[in-house]
């Protein structure tokens, strides 16, 4: 059965991005330190059009994380282009390049809906103005039996958890502290949120933790 | 060479105790959910004078965590008795029972020094009024070549990290969120704090993560 899966890097102090996020530094101050392991790893490099890298304990985790995905949901901030209405003359097309690494429909949560944007390589951005339930429902339909990936950021992952829509959460726990930033799991209701450990993988520079959301 | 080691349970949202800590509920609201795995595990039960429990993947971790310890450092709140000066008529002797589970000298950080308190089973509480450096130095001397355990709470662990005194941190990561409470690693300086992954153990209801502090 199709699952709704999210994954995110996280620091030991619980942040999925550093403080002072800007359009030119979307990961925030020090946020790139969450992703050092991914930059070194071959499968992740390949997914972003880069050659080389190590095949290591992260590789099967990344292969699994990116397999069987039929559609993606992400927040407006992850799609980029800044807050507020789209520039009508030259509407933002994402910062993922002409051939984004999704190769599926991508449903972008926004208060400013617009027409879909078709990119190369099978990625089409759809803009959803009526919330996480609608976005996940549309993504599940588009995925046609495959899984839906909640790509982030933290706010979108939390919306999916709060709405009881998330089946599985993969945390890439990096051995760093960021001292502030975007909290991945802060502010959730402890009474309404229960996790089960599914898998733990010790890899170079990161620990991959997969949890099932119990409902 | 003698190492200074700390260990603490932590929730996925980064707390080592829940919100609303009181003298009668020192783990805070929901904080006992961080320790469910430990209550089930045989070695930990034995250390607290309880019988039974499972021998599982947590057992060797707990055996190692409690072995080779020659002295302990803890914060005043972990020793208990409430804040402020000690009750002179009936000074607090800890809430660890007549035979506390330490069996070594224990150095308690406090602004209110007093004479040492000798308990059964080899535990003697010493009260240190001049800070973490002094407490760790006294503990290392008392440990006589064995390791020093920083027992907690979070504030004491952070003081040891900030002072560059901690060699190793073992996090018992519980698959729960607490929604607030005492942050284990929040507020540390990212520029001054670097970790290396030493060991990762996937156990029932908990993930044991050992880090080396890099200086």
Q: Where are the domains of chain B?
A: 4-17+28-82+92-214
Mean pLDDT of A118-132: 96
What's the gap in Å between the CA of B190 and the closest CA on chain A?
Answer: 5
| Secondary-structure class of domain B4-17+28-82+92-214 per CATH | alpha beta
The pLDDT value recorded for residue A1 is 87
Residue of B10, B13, B17, B157 best to disrupt the A interface, most CBs of A under 10 A: B13
Report the residue of chain A nearest B201, measured CA to CA: A200
Q: Is A67 helix (H, G, I), strand (E, B) or coil?
A: coil
Q: How far apart are CA A143 and CA A123, in angstroms?
A: 12
Which stretch of B25-34, B142-151, B191-200, B204-213 has the lowest confidence by average pLDDT? B25-34
Band (B89; pLDDT cuts 50, 70, 90):
confident
Question: What is the percentage of chain A residues whose pLDDT exceeds 70?
Answer: 100
**Are the beta carbons of B185 and A13 separated by less than 8 Å?**
yes
Mean pLDDT, chain A, rounded, equals 94
Using a CB-CB cut-off of 8 Å, the residues of chain A touching B18 are 190
| Secondary-structure class of domain A4-18+28-83+93-214 per CATH | alpha beta
Any residues with CB less than 8 A from the CB of A112 and at least 6 apart, and which? A76, A84, A85, A86, A127, A129
Q: Which tops the pLDDT comparison, B179 or A80?
A: B179
**Are the beta carbons of B179 and A195 separated by less than 8 Å?**
no
The pLDDT value recorded for residue B169 is 98
**Are the beta carbons of B185 and A12 separated by less than 8 Å?**
yes
Q: How far apart are CA A93 and CA B184, in angstroms?
A: 40
Band (B143; pLDDT cuts 50, 70, 90):
very high
Band (B90; pLDDT cuts 50, 70, 90):
confident
The pLDDT value recorded for residue A102 is 93
**Are the beta carbons of A177 and B197 separated by less than 8 Å?**
no
Q: Which tops the pLDDT comparison, A26 or B150?
A: B150
Using a CB-CB cut-off of 8 Å, the residues of chain B touching A199 are 202
Q: Touching check for B56 and chain A: CB below 8 Å?
A: no
Mean pLDDT of B75-104: 89
The pLDDT value recorded for residue A195 is 97
Q: How far apart are CA A61 and CA A66, in angstroms?
A: 9
Any residues with CB less than 8 A from the CB of B70 and at least 6 apart, and which? B2, B104, B139, B142, B143, B144, B145, B146, B147, B148
Angle among Cα B209, A11, A4 to the nearest 5 degrees reads 95
Mean pLDDT of B197-210: 98
Interface of B with A in 101-160 (CB under 8 A): none
Which stretch of A146-150, A166-170, B45-49 has the lowest confidence by average pLDDT? B45-49
- This prediction has a pTM of 0.94
Instruction: Taking the CA atoms of B129, B131, B134 and B139 in sequence, report the sign of the dihedral they define.
Output: positive
Q: Touching check for A198 and chain B: CB below 8 Å?
A: no
């Amino acid at each position: 059965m199709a699952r709704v899966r999210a994954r995110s890097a996280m620091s030991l102090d619980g942040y999925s991005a550093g403080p002072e996020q800007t359009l030119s530094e979307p990961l925030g101050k020090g946020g790139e330190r969450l992703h050092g392991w991914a930059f070194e790893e071959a499968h992740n490099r390949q997914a972003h059009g880069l050659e080389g890298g190590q095949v290591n304990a992260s590789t099967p985790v990344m292969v699994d994380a990116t397999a069987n995905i039929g559609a993606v949901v992400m927040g407006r901030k992850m799609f980029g282009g800044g807050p507020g209405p789209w520039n009508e003359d030259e509407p933002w097309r994402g910062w993922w390049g002409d051939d984004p690494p999704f190769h599926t429909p991508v449903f972008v949560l926004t208060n400013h809906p617009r027409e879909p944007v078709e990119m190369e390589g099978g990625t089409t951005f759809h803009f959803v103005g009526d919330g996480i339930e609608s976005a996940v429902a549309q993504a599940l339909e588009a995925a046609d039996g495959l899984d839906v990936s909640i790509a982030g950021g933290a706010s979108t992952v939390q919306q999916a958890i709060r709405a009881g829509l998330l089946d599985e959460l993969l945390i890439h726990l990096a051995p760093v502290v960021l001292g502030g930033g975007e909290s991945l799991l802060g502010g959730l209701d402890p009474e309404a949120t229960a996790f089960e450990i599914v898998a733990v993988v010790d890899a170079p520079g990161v620990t991959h933790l997969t949890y099932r959301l119990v409902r």
